[in-house]
Structure 1
Amino acid sequence: MNASPHTIDPVERKAADWVMRHRQGQLSARELEAFQRWLAADPLHAAAVERANRAWQATAQLKQRPGYVKPQRPPRSAWLRMPVVGGSAVAALALGCWMLLAPPFWVQALNSDYHTGFGEVRQITLADGSQVQLGSHSLLSLAYDDQTRRVRLSQGEAIFTPAPMNETERRPFTVQAPGADITARGTRYLVGVGKDREGWVGVLQHRVEVNLTQHGRDEAAGSALLEQGNSLHFSPRTGLVPLNTSPEELASWQEGRLVFQRESLADAAARINRYRPGLVLVKGEALRNARVSAVMRLDNLDDALKHLVAQVHGRMIDLPGLTLIY
């Protein structure tokens, strides 16, 4: 039996459903991850999403034209209203559980001593005279006691200039990041926090001591004394790995720019995500590993992102809260 000429391809139907729900803000965090997995599963999926997104934009433009009349929705019957109460209760319970298990940034910000929004850089002077330059979308908490001057960087990145130890100040200065403790040795240094207890350290002056914090037997252990001009990546999976990116390049955000020197597009996207609302997602192993070089202004990341995509001859789809490069 031949298919009807009006039959919609299942991939096109699925893409249209994803785009509609995403643009209407109906995707939960778990559903957004499922959307990203679906996009990565087949190049046809990304192409279908691009077509669905263009159709959505065309519809939005049509609605703005004079003379457009919004169709009236039929009134709901009373029996249709009844389950909404139960549904709302379930939704509220789910939201409460999600906020406890994976609290959003603004909830974490309420429990931190200092925080910054996207694109914001904040200069902080601590009680002992130590200086902190807190980068974009970052969270910092203080945990000073009689033995240690400890600060916790739970998200984002910061440049630390600790007040030096002397006869009156004998406590070491330590930055606690998820996955590592970084202790100053008379120094100025940068610490950044990524996902899954990964991060990076760069030494701008003198040296620091980096110690991995283990949460399980299978996690890597290690420590390193990092000298001025060097940087490293820390991870419970790979341990301590030297970085080719210089500390000055890692800290370029303090001057209102991001510098990329032959970095993978995946790493560049991860850095951009810290300074731009929404998520930049790179699909495909070859594209993720493609090397890019650029100097990007933090106040013009949207245009700069297009130049990165052009470098690797890729394509880009913009959705609310998500930019897909494929």
Structure 2
Amino acid sequence: MSAQNSSYQHKLKQAADWCALLHSDAPTDEDIQAHHQWLNLHPDNQKAYDELTALWGEFNTPDTGLNGRVLNNVLDNKPPKRHGAAKAFLSIALFSGFGLLLNHLGFSGITADHYTLKGQTQTITLQDGSVITLNAQTQIDVEFNDQNRLIRLHQGEVHIDATTNPSWPLVVQTQDTSATALGTSFSVKARGQDTYVVVTESKVKLCYLPQNNCVTGKQGEAMEVEDRYLTGPYPTNPSIRLAWLNHRLVANDISLTVLLESLEAHYPGILMYQSTELSHIRVSGVYPTDNIELAMKMLASDPTIKHQSVANHLHFISLK
């Protein structure tokens, strides 16, 4: 990051603090005077404050999940001694795209044995020689015992190249499923209570544990447990489903909202958009997950989509 961008991001954070204070219904005359003095210190201060104020107005809707009335109620319902904490919450909300900062960065679950945050992937080699690649925002625990090699997937997606040992199976366990390697290469994705498996080599057995129901898929097939229902195996294209291994995301006539939700996990910055406004827009293409600027340019080539960015960190997507 250039020094210029870093300096401007610092001014954006200061502007977020001022927005938080001045929207709190409790600014004093001294606060207002200090705010004017800060604006006059540097032209970028006014620019940053204007941008944050405009965003406040643009995203002050129920669809963002955090509107001005709710934020002001947070401040109003706290005793005076807690005003600073509420102001800090509002400032974080402004600068973090109206989301909780820890969730935005993907810090939930960092007590796991291995984890990745937003915008990260990681490849690890286990003691048996098996290789696991973690997609963004993924958490796993690893437990080797006499019965099996157990990978607990709490969240996210992994691709595994497993060493073959029929007497010591490798099992990936999610909340309600287990995927047992009957060969060497496969992926498992956990999203809430749902589990998705793609077999890239040999075979994998997927079991839905509450019903003790299992199916086996082979190379080029997928299986899933979605809404408590086990389906598959069915043919799939692993190179498309696992394009994230090559820092790509393949969209084939999907909702723009779904695409943005997928891109968010791969980008450490902030994407801001209104889901209901964009959900009816359909998109197709191969989008880079390691170059958000290029991905946004590709989206903005659609004549109906508008993209704006602030300091290459905040990205706003809306309809023209």
What TM-score, normalized by structure 1, do the two folds share? 0.59
Relative distance call for 1:132 and 1:284 in structure 2 (3 A) is: same
Count of residues in Structure 1 that have an aligned counterpart in Structure 2: 242
How far residue 229 of structure 1 moved from its aligned partner, in angstroms, is 0.9
* 1:248 correspondence with 2:225: no
* 1:198 correspondence with 2:194: yes
- Alignment match, 2:262: 271
Superposed CA offset, 1:40-67 (max 9, x none): xxxxxxxxxxxxxxxxxxxx99874289
For residues 26 and 213 of structure 1, the distance between their equivalents in structure 2, rounded to whole angstroms, comes to 50
* 1:225 correspondence with 2:198: no
2:220–2:235 Cα contact (<8 Å) kept: no
1:190–1:247 Cα contact (<8 Å) kept: no
SS of equivalent residue, structure 1 residue 143: strand
Task: Name which of structure 1's ranges 223-232 and 312-321 shifts more when overlaid on structure 2.
Answer: 312-321
For residues 302 and 44 of structure 2, the distance between their equivalents in structure 1, rounded to whole angstroms, comes to 41
Superposed CA offset, 1:271-298 (max 9, x none): 212201335656338x535442222222
1:233–1:243 Cα contact (<8 Å) kept: no
Superposed CA offset, 1:250-277 (max 9, x none): 2222222222233343432232122013
Which 5+ residue runs of structure 2 have no aligned equivalent?
Answer: 1-12, 21-37, 47-78, 89-99
AA aligned to 1:193 is A
Relative distance call for 1:24 and 1:302 in structure 2 (3 A) is: farther
- Alignment match, 1:173: 170
1:231–1:242 Cα contact (<8 Å) kept: yes
Indicate which of 273, 281, 284 corresponds to 1:293.
284
Task: Name which of structure 1's ranges 242-251 and 149-158 shifts more when overlaid on structure 2.
Answer: 242-251
What RMSD over aligned residues (CA atoms) do the two structures have, in Å?
A: 4.2
Matches within 5 A, 1:46-195: 64-65=42-43, 83-85=79-81, 105-106=106-107, 108-109=109-110, 111-166=111-166, 170-194=167-191
How far residue 299 of structure 1 moved from its aligned partner, in angstroms, is 2.5
AA aligned to 2:204 is V
Relative distance call for 1:155 and 1:305 in structure 2 (3 A) is: farther
How far residue 316 of structure 1 moved from its aligned partner, in angstroms, is 4.7
For residues 172 and 136 of structure 2, the distance between their equivalents in structure 1, rounded to whole angstroms, comes to 17
Relative distance call for 1:66 and 1:165 in structure 2 (3 A) is: closer
Superposed CA offset, 1:139-159 (max 9, x none): 121122221211012222211
For residues 311 and 103 of structure 1, the distance between their equivalents in structure 2, rounded to whole angstroms, comes to 27
For residues 314 and 280 of structure 2, the distance between their equivalents in structure 1, rounded to whole angstroms, comes to 23
Which 5+ residue runs of structure 1 have no aligned equivalent?
Answer: 1-19, 28-59, 69-82, 93-98, 215-219
1:140–1:151 Cα contact (<8 Å) kept: yes
Matches within 5 A, 1:8-23: 23=16
SS of equivalent residue, structure 1 residue 303: helix
For residues 45 and 317 of structure 2, the distance between their equivalents in structure 1, rounded to whole angstroms, comes to 34
Relative distance call for 1:141 and 1:221 in structure 2 (3 A) is: same
SS of equivalent residue, structure 2 residue 291: helix
Relative distance call for 1:173 and 1:274 in structure 2 (3 A) is: same
For residues 197 and 215 of structure 2, the distance between their equivalents in structure 1, rounded to whole angstroms, comes to 11
For residues 148 and 242 of structure 1, the distance between their equivalents in structure 2, rounded to whole angstroms, comes to 24
How far residue 213 of structure 1 moved from its aligned partner, in angstroms, is 3.9
1:179–1:236 Cα contact (<8 Å) kept: no
- Alignment match, 2:250: 259
Task: Name which of structure 1's ranges 260-269 and 248-257 shifts more when overlaid on structure 2.
Answer: 260-269
AA aligned to 1:180 is T
* 1:207 correspondence with 2:207: no
Q: Percent identity?
A: 24
